Structures are given as structure tokens and as C-alpha cells.
Amino acid sequence: MAVVLLSLGSNIDRQRSIVSGLDALRALFGALTPSSVYDSESIGFVGQPFLNLVVEIETDWAVAELARQLRAIEFAHGRPVNPVRGSPRQLDIDILTYDELIACVAGIDLPRAEILENAYVLQPLAELRPSACHPANGVCYGDLWSRFDQSSQRLSLVDFHWRGQQISSRR
């Protein structure tokens, strides 16, 4: 089984979309481990703020099949077939890492570059797996977050509940 880290985000009907996305992931993968949920500004375009989190799953699917299943979840949540880059998202799910794989597989660069570029990915990743290391550079996510210019992107913790459990403000 591969350990996979996913990024989830929504800036349309945010609370409901994230809950529904988590429910869909749980239906496919069983147990999953979510980070806290963060409110973040839109990066790269003018738009409503996002809710973002990172989720750890385990799967025996290859990267291409996993990506296909994740796209199906996004389509079920209103993703257009050919979305405009930087457009609002009901639900966006990206594969951040797939075990320690460093490659381009099925058109997906792993690990995903956004890990090192965006607070809304790195902070929840550092919270969830602080001592795990980035596959390409070998630096632990906790250390990467402590070195990140945290003033460069607005990010705030959100009080969030899923399936009767508080998944934010608990760490």
C-alpha cells in the first residue's frame, strides 16, 4: 500500500464542499488522516478565499488510477471538464506525494511543486507529517515550514468539524 498525501481546497460553498470531499475520500479509501483546515487567500488569481487541508490516505492504486478516481470526485462536485487555470473551485484535489516517488507519472509531477511554494499546502503538511521529509530535497516538512516566509501568504486556522470530530484547532 502506498502512503499518499493529498491537498483539498474549495472556494465555492467551502464548508459543504470540503465535508463532501472528505466523505467521498473516506468512501473510497476507508481510514484517512486529515490536517487542520485553513482559510487562505486565492493565489494567482482574484477570487474568494479558499478552505484548504492535507489528507493522508493509503492505496494500492497506481498513480494514474488514483488520479482518475480523484478527478471523478471533482467532477461529481462540479469541476468543469476543461477548467480555466486560476478559476474558482467547488472542490480541488491534488496528489502531493505518492510514497517517496520522484517522477512525472500520468502527467503528474511528484512531489507536487506547490509543497514548496504555497503556505496553504506546506503548513497543513508540516502539521500532519512534521518529521517526514520531502522526497526530492530530503528536508522535513516541519523544517520547510519554519523556513518558509510565513508573512508572504495569509493563512488562518478554521474551526472545522467532520463526522462529529473537530479536525481543526486540535493540534
pLDDT in tens, 120-167: 999 999 999 999 999 999 999 999 999 999 999 999 999 999 988 888
Cell 459543504, residue? 16
pLDDT in tens, 93-107: 999 999 999 999 999
Query: What are the structural domains, with CATH classification, of the chain?
Result: 2-163 (3.30.70.560)
CA distance 12 to 26: 21
pLDDT in tens, 2-15: 999 999 999 999 99
Q: Find the DSSP H helices in the chain.
A: 14-29, 63-76, 114-117, 119-128, 141-147
The identity of residue 47, as a single letter, is G
Q: Report residue 90 as a C-alpha cell.
A: 467547488
Q: Report residue 1 as a C-alpha cell.
A: 500500500
Residue 45 binned pLDDT confidence (cut-offs 50, 70, 90): low
